[in-house]
Amino acid sequence: MRIDVVSLFPDFMRQCAAVGVVGRAQQRELLQVETWNPRDYATDRHRSVDSSSYGGGPGMVMMIEPLRTTLAAMRAAAAEPVHLVYLSPQGTRLTQGRVEALARLPRIALLCGRYEGVDERLLAHEVDEELSIGDYVLSGGELAAAVVIDAVGRLQDGALNDAQSAEQDSFSDGLLDCPHYAKPVHDALGSVPEVLLSGDHAAIARWRLKQSLGRTWLRRPDLLSQRGLDAPSRALLDEFRREHASRRPTRQDDATG
Ligand code: ADE
């Protein structure tokens, strides 16, 4: 898969895409990340990419022309058609489902705004989809683009070492992930749940699903209402609730109220 990033901070974007799973995916040639700086396509002697906003008010807006030529060069750099995503707080909220759909495309491009954003006319003509990574405002689209690159890059076939880990991710089945434990078995902070040491794969799978259901019920009940539960899952969640009611409170209870 190829991801083109249009950004005034191409070095930052390249560095983000060079580390961890995504960096490895690039080394394995599963993913190619290219950057395009609109400033390189500005024509005046100040290499301007922004101007003040018509109608007044503070803040600058990214102009059409440098972006239009940047996007034309970007589109022409490879044969595949590009699905162009603009990152902004006004976009549709990014979900794992959307990430999975983007990861199946051969080529996407990420347009990162700065200042107050991008001239609306350019967005209307060029952009296929506007995405937000959450209900908060960043000072530019770069961190959001880095989030998309990571989430999409790790889903490329062969990017993750353990083929199963993407399937076990939070959200991949509409539930949050279960708790995980590393060495040692016993510690002053507590012991690893016994079932995980039993070697009984069916019992472990049942425990993990119960924890996933329980966590989702506690932390993201909205996900449970969207997903719905079959009868066995409902019974497992009831079991979790009974156990939860009789356990000692933890710090997380304070944090979440
Ligand atoms: N740019 C600024 N804030 C953003 C957000 N929350 N999501 C995506 N892009 C953004």
| pLDDT one-digit tens code per residue, 216-255 | 999 999 999 999 999 999 999 999 999 999 988 888 776 6
Token readout for 132 is 């937000």
Flag whether pLDDT at 257 surpasses 60.
no
Average pLDDT (145-162) is: 95
Determine which one of 2, 14, 34, 89 is catalytic: 89
pTM: 0.93
97 is in an annotated binding site: no
Degrees to nearest 5, angle at CA 159 with 128 and 93: 35
**CA of 182: how far to CAs of 33, 151, 161, 179, 190, in Å?**
34, 24, 18, 10, 12
What spacing in Å lies between the alpha carbon of 150 and ligand 1's midpoint?
16
Q: Which distant-in-sequence residues (6+ apart) come within 8 Å of 252 by Cβ?
A: none
The pLDDT value recorded for residue 250 is 81
In the chain, where the domains are located: 2-153, 168-256
Q: Domain 2-153: give its CATH code.
A: 3.40.1280.10
126 counts as catalytic: no
195 is in an annotated binding site: no
CA 66 vs. chain centroid, Å, equals 28
Kindly report the protein residue whose alpha carbon is nearest to atom 6 of ligand 1.
89
The pLDDT value recorded for residue 114 is 86
127 is in an annotated binding site: no
Kindly report the protein residue whose alpha carbon is nearest to atom 5 of ligand 1.
89
Helices (H) and strands (E) in the chain, counts: 11, 9
The pLDDT value recorded for residue 161 is 85
Residue type, 231: A
Q: What is the pLDDT of residues 93-144, one digit of tens each?
A: 999 999 999 999 999 999 999 878 999 999 999 999 999 999 999 999 999 9
CA 37 vs. chain centroid, Å, equals 23
Mean pLDDT of the chain: 95
130 counts as catalytic: no
Average pLDDT (195-215) is: 98
128 counts as catalytic: no
Determine which one of 65, 116, 129, 239 is catalytic: 116
247 counts as catalytic: no
Residues with CB under 6 A from ligand 1: 87-89, 132-134, 136-138, 141, 144
The pLDDT value recorded for residue 252 is 78
- The closest of 106, 17, 34, 117 to 70, measured between CA atoms, is 34
Which of the pair, 256 or 17, is modelled with greater confidence?
17
CATH number belonging to the domain at 168-256, selected among 3.40.630.30, 1.10.1270.20, 3.90.79.10, 3.30.70.1520: 1.10.1270.20
Token readout for 250 is 């933890």
